[in-house]
């Protein structure tokens, strides 16, 4: 390895042959603290003022286009009527429509149930695809076909196939379940194909030296996977897993095509009853309330992981 002071170390300010010296700090979107890019970073008060003014200008222009459009009044009444939004939120079964606010709890229950099942099934699929034994070759082929099929077929088609096809088979117990159960099954089948690939990426991201060290200590392949590889892999894949679960939360609305009264279905019933679409706005707001905190939590995890990696690289 070259130790020429005029090499890479000499070209980087603050980097000396003994490590990182007291050179100038990085400025701008990235800083020496290891924090990633933020909405506002660097530039001080002047940058904050400029960012605030530019944001107000953009928002003002969008608001002006919206309010000055020829059909603005009709659009606002159809989608943003406060009276209809409140009625859709609380519901009135006597008048033939359900509460969107109450129906969203079905979305939450489906999301939580499917999430647990997805984490288990996708891990099993990933471990099968990562196996190398000849005895498991048929299972590896089936797992590959499973992943290719459910990643390639649109989720809505799977909803129809399972939700309408299984009851038509008239199988004992299986064909008599509710549309909610079929919806959870569809979400589990479809998303397990995606999440299994996330698991595989995490497993493959663990350096082979970790595997070799575990085997040199006398651990079996199963023990090395359980105690050495999987803990590191799962820590690496938490952010992409959370991103998949944000999409899962939204896709629970597709179960409504089977007749389950979730938020989107309740909004559609209200819209068809009173001929006003403000109920869809209520449903959209509720989904945003559910997904935005999870998205921000994912960003925090990504930033923390980046700081941890940078701190480890600078030691």
pLDDT tens-digit readout, 137-169:
999 999 999 999 999 999 999 999 999 999 999
226 compared with 36, residue with greater pLDDT = 226
Mean pLDDT of the 260-278 span: 93
Report if residue 208 sits inside a domain.
yes
Phi, psi for residue 13 in degrees, rounded to 5? -65, 135
Report if residue 6 sits inside a domain.
no
Instruction: Classify the C-alpha dihedral 137-138-143-146 as positive or negative.
Output: positive
The runs of H, that is alpha helices, within the chain are 8-11, 44-68, 72-79, 82-90, 100-130, 137-152, 155-169, 179-205, 208-216, 221-224, 230-251, 263-274, 278-313
| Position 34 pLDDT exceeds 80 | no
| Position 205 pLDDT exceeds 50 | yes
Half-sphere CA count of 185, side-chain side, radius 13 A: 17
Report if residue 192 sits inside a domain.
yes
Kindly report the pTM of this predicted structure.
0.77
* Residue 210 token pair: 């970790």
* Confidence label for 39 from pLDDT (cuts 50, 70 and 90): low
Report if residue 94 sits inside a domain.
no
In the chain, the number of structural domains is: 1
312 compared with 81, residue with greater pLDDT = 81
Mean pLDDT of the 285-296 span: 91
Report if residue 46 sits inside a domain.
no
- Domain span at residue 249? 103-313
Report if residue 24 sits inside a domain.
no
- The answer to whether 182 and 163 have CB atoms below 8 angstroms apart is yes
What is the percentage of the chain residues whose pLDDT exceeds 90? 51
d(CA 311, CA 242): 24
Which residue reads 């997904």 in tokens? 291
Report if residue 86 sits inside a domain.
no
Report if residue 59 sits inside a domain.
no
What is residue 46's three-state secondary structure? helix
Q: What is the pLDDT of residue 315?
A: 64
Mean pLDDT of the 222-251 span: 87
CATH number assigned to the domain comprising residue 264? 1.10.3720.10
- Nearest CA to 277 out of 285, 268, 264 is that of 268
């Amino acid at each position: 390895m070259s130790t020429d002071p005029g090499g890479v170390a000499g070209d980087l300010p603050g980097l000396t042959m003994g490590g990182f010296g007291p050179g100038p700090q990085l400025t701008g979107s990235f800083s020496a603290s290891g924090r990633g890019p933020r909405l506002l970073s660097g530039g001080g008060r002047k940058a904050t003022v400029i960012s605030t003014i530019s944001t107000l200008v953009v928002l003002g222009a969008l608001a002006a286009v919206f309010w000055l459009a020829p059909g603005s009044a009709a659009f606002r009444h159809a989608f943003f009527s406060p009276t209809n939004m409140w009625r859709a939120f609380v519901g009135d079964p006597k008048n033939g429509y359900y509460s969107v606010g109450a129906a969203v709890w079905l979305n939450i229950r489906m999301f939580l149930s499917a999430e647990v099942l997805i984490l288990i099934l996708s891990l099993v699929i990933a471990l099968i695809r990562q196996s190398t034994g000849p005895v498991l070759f048929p299972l590896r082929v089936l797992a590959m076909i499973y992943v290719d099929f459910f990643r390639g077929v649109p989720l809505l088609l799977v909803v129809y196939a399972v939700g309408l096809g299984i009851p038509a088979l008239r199988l004992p117990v299986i064909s008599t379940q509710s549309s909610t159960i079929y919806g959870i099954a569809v979400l589990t089948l479809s998303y397990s194909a995606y999440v299994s690939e996330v698991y595989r990426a995490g497993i493959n991201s663990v350096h082979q030296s970790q595997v070799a060290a575990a085997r040199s200590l006398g651990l079996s392949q199963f023990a090395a996977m359980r105690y050495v590889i999987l803990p590191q892999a799962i820590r690496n894949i938490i952010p992409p897993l959370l991103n998949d679960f944000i999409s899962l939360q939204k896709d629970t609305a597709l179960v409504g095509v089977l007749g389950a009264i979730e938020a989107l279905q309740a909004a559609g019933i209200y819209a068809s009853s009173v001929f006003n679409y403000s109920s869809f706005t209520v449903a959209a707001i509720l989904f945003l309330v559910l997904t935005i905190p999870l998205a921000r939590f994912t960003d925090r995890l990504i930033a923390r992981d980046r700081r941890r990696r940078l701190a480890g690289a600078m030691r």
